[in-house]
Amino acid sequence: MCAAATAAAGAGGTLLIALAFTATGAGPPAQPGHATKAHASTQAGAGATPRARPSHRAAARALARSAPVAVHIEAIGVHADEVVGLGLGPGGAIEVPEDYGVVGWYENGPSPGEVGPAVIGGHLDSDTGPAVFYRLSELRPGDAVAVERADGSTARFTVYAIEQHPKDHFPTGRVYGPSGGDAELRLITCGGRFDESAQRYRSNIVAYAQRARTP
């Protein structure tokens, strides 16, 4: 989900530069009780040293499934009041939002607050300037993320790791794999150097967050 420079959109407004996901290999695992379409894929491997989930406290109780409707990240000035559902495109890659100012939720996975890793992605920039997740790489452990849900509840998360990975070594298992029974969140955009010949960024930024306990 990172569009940039000129060739970011094709006929009919379809974005041609995907967030992180290519069409070879094994993709995001289907979650129990969720859609079981053939998934888009990313290559395995990590471009940064993995950081373990916090284990010093009990995890917050998970919520029932409910679609996200807004995302707020005060630390980096994100107030996305629209969340679009993302599935798979014709080429097997995860779709991207057509609007650079909104974020997208991968509907085949958990919703924010459910057990498992919910995935929300957004563009880094466009040919006119910064997009919704332009400052995602500035997040730091301890920063708060609030996700408003369609059922009227708000799932609150605490960031515990921020990583950058080359697109050809995207850590599929770490991003989409089991969360140990916790409700987790993954925020993804592009990063690293921009490849002029391929018209895409070479890396992805991934922020990992765990649902915060509430009194």
Residue type, 122: G
Return d(Cα 50, Cα 53) in angstroms, integer.
10
Return d(Cα 38, Cα 41) in angstroms, integer.
9
**Residue-level pLDDT at 93:** 63
Residue 1 has pLDDT above 70, yes or no: no
Q: How confident is the model at residue 174 (pLDDT cuts 50, 70, 90)?
A: confident
Which CATH architecture describes the domain 11-44+61-211? Beta Barrel (2.40)
- Span 201-212, pLDDT tens digits: 888 999 999 999
Residue 195 has pLDDT above 50, yes or no: yes
- Span 26-79, pLDDT tens digits: 345 545 444 333 222 233 333 444 455 665 455 567 899 999 999 999 999 999
Beta strands 183-195 and 154-166, pairing class: unpaired
Strand, helix or coil for residue 202: strand
Q: Which of 187, 168, 138 is nearest to 46 (CA)?
A: 168
What percentage of residues in the chain have a pLDDT greater than 70?
Answer: 70
What percentage of residues in the chain have a pLDDT greater than 90?
Answer: 50
Domain borders along the chain are 11-44+61-211
Q: How confident is the model at residue 14 (pLDDT cuts 50, 70, 90)?
A: very low
pTM value is 0.77
Task: Fill in the DSSP letter of residue 161.
Answer: E
Can you tell me the mean pLDDT for 2-23?
33
Residue 116 has pLDDT above 90, yes or no: yes
